[in-house]
Amino acid sequence: MVELNELLKSFVHYEKIGSDNPLITSIEMDSREVTEGSLFICIDGYTVDGHDFVSQAVDAGAVAVLAERAVETSVPVILVKDTKRSMAIIANVFFDHPTKKLNLIGVTGTNGKTTITHLIEKIFSDAGQRTGLIGTMYTKIGEETTEAVNTTPESLPLQKTFRQMVDKNVDTAVMEVSSHALHLGRVRGCDFNVAIFTNLSPDHLDYHGTMEAYLHAKGLLFAQLGNTFGDQKKIAVLNQDDPASKELEKMTAAHVISYGFDTKSDVMATDIKMTANGTRFTISAFSESVQVQLKLIGTFSVYNVLAATAAGLASGIRLSQIKASLEEVEGVAGRFEVVDAGQSYTVIVDYAHTADSLENVLSTVKEFAKGRVYVVVGCGGDRDRSKRPKMAEIAVDLADVAIFTSDNPRTEDPKAILADMEAGVTGRNYLVEMDRKKAIEYATREARKDDVVVIAGKGHETYQIVGTQSYDFDDREVARAVIERGNI
């Protein structure tokens, strides 16, 4: 609890209407969450404007309002130019700068964020630390998990979550940091110690417009590591094999640890051997090296492991400890996840929803597949249209049988989405089945011994969004049901 005027000391400029100085017991941006003693922040969002809900908030117990324009109410109103920017500042102060009390690790890039954060969480947990994780799948504090709404939450719930982590004695927190979150300022006020870059390939261009703008958004994480060199080292972990790292290195004043295997790096993988059951290679890090035997498969998995290894080393964990943790990892839900119901062929569900990630998955499968490769793939609606023909082309190029289907069409016409995909493969051989369940059923019914079926796009998701409605749908469960009905 903090007095309103004390919170306002964090602002450079504001206008206060009303002289009262109430005690603030909570801060809310949703009027439905307001309780007695709340400060209500009016956010002009994509669908609703918080300024229209001031009376509801005050009726629910709000004792002050933060707004961008004057509103009629009986409680003090603090006027600022940008409530979202101000929200990040005031949340940080209200929750007493929680990230300064954590070893905070952020992971950004087009692909690999979820897997890398889970690998890091495993490494640090095994090293005896209490951990927290924020990402696409869920938020985890110690052993408690809650469902995620956004990959990276808004600044207010984010700072509140970090406060909860501090209160529950978390040592290290690791989080996925999306380009949207960086561009929208959701991580302002977060004191990162380590920032990791995975890779950059076309995605979210419907939002960012250009690859340059997309890279700039990612670069904000590294620029925000600060510009000084104190007792607390700030470290940027960069994928040396991705050309974008050269630009990111220019954007940060932090110490840099590089990783890769095509280019000489601080943390390198050599002697890579891949099978259908796992991957073996040597990690060379500065002056030492270890051989690891992973249960994970694929070149992309090697990159993910190198990034997690660099983060562990940056935080003082020994390479031998890191090796032991990595070798225990079975995988991450929906990331190259094998569905095994006793069938004679292989079914793999993966979150691949960009051209680059789909190419990575199918290229890996072709390295060990003894039979035909099937791929079931679609593209999400109300998202970047430019990647649709590219994903279709990769599917047709790398799979023996490509089946185009729906993947969360949202408010777009599924037929229009499929037409965008088909535009990239005119005159080529492929199948179209708009019903995703039927598409999965077809692939699993047609597959024979030693074939591989890849179901791409949704991964861990347990829903299908059609229009504005969300329906139960899990690729893994659909595939398993088909197999168990006897199509093996």
Which residue reads 């302002």 in tokens? Answer: 188
**180: pLDDT strictly greater than 90:** no
**For the chain, what percent of residues have pLDDT higher than 70?**
98
Residue 488 confidence (pLDDT):
44
What type of residue is 287? S
Per-residue pLDDT tens digits for 444-463: 999 999 999 999 999 999 99
pLDDT at 487 > cutoff 60: no
Q: What is the mean pLDDT of residues 149-170?
A: 92
- Share above pLDDT 90 across residues of the chain, in percent, rounded to a whole number: 82
With a CB cutoff of 8 Å and minimum separation 6, the contacts of 38 are: 24, 25, 26, 27, 28, 57, 60, 61, 62, 63
- Taking only the tens place, the pLDDT of each residue in 296-346 is 988 899 999 999 999 999 999 999 999 999 999 988 888 889 898 999 999
* Res 172 pLDDT > 80: yes
pLDDT band for position 486 (cuts 50, 70, 90): confident
Q: Are 324 and 119 in contact (CB under 8 A)?
A: no
Residue 207 has pLDDT above 70, yes or no: no
Confidence (pLDDT) at 204:
63
pLDDT band for position 182 (50/70/90)? very high
Helices 355-368 and 387-398 pack at an angle, to 10 degrees, of: 10
The CATH number of the structural domain formed by 98-328 is 3.40.1190.10
- CA triplet 338, 383, 303: central angle to 5 degrees? 45
Residue 286, pLDDT > 50, answer yes
24, β-bridge pairs: 2
Look up residue 322 and give its DSSP letter: H
pTM: 0.86
Strands (E), 326-435: 337-339, 346-350, 373-377, 401-404, 431-432
Q: For 74-118, write each residue's pLDDT tens digit.
A: 999 999 999 999 999 999 999 999 999 999 999 999 889 999 999
Q: Check whether 70 has a pLDDT greater than 70.
A: yes
Class at the top of the CATH hierarchy for domain 2-94: alpha beta
- Which of 120-124, 200-204, 212-216 has the largest mean confidence? 120-124
What CATH architecture does domain 337-484 belong to? Answer: Alpha-Beta Complex (3.90)
Would you state the pLDDT for residue 206?
Answer: 67
Render pLDDT for 465-474 as a digit per residue (tens, 0 to 9).
999 999 999 9
Q: Are the C-beta atoms of 173 and 132 separated by less than 8 Å?
A: yes
Q: Is residue 58 within 8 Å of residue 73, measured between CB atoms?
A: yes
Instruction: Give the residue-averaged pLDDT of 217-246.
Output: 92
Rounded Cα gap, residues 300 and 110, in angstroms: 12
Q: What backbone torsions phi and psi does residue 459 show, to the nearest 5 degrees?
A: 55, -115
H helix runs in 315-381, sequence order = 319-328, 355-368
Instruction: Please indicate whether residue 230 or residue 93 has the higher confidence score (pLDDT).
Output: 93
Assess whether pLDDT exceeds 80 at residue 177: yes
Report residue 86 as tokens: 């101000």
Better pLDDT: 65 or 488: 65
- In angstroms, the Cα distances linking 349 to 331, 339, 459 are 12, 7, 6
CA distance linking residue 200 with residue 218, whole number of Å: 9
Domain assignments of the chain as residue spans, ordered by start: 2-94, 98-328, 337-484
Average pLDDT in the 283-291 region? 96
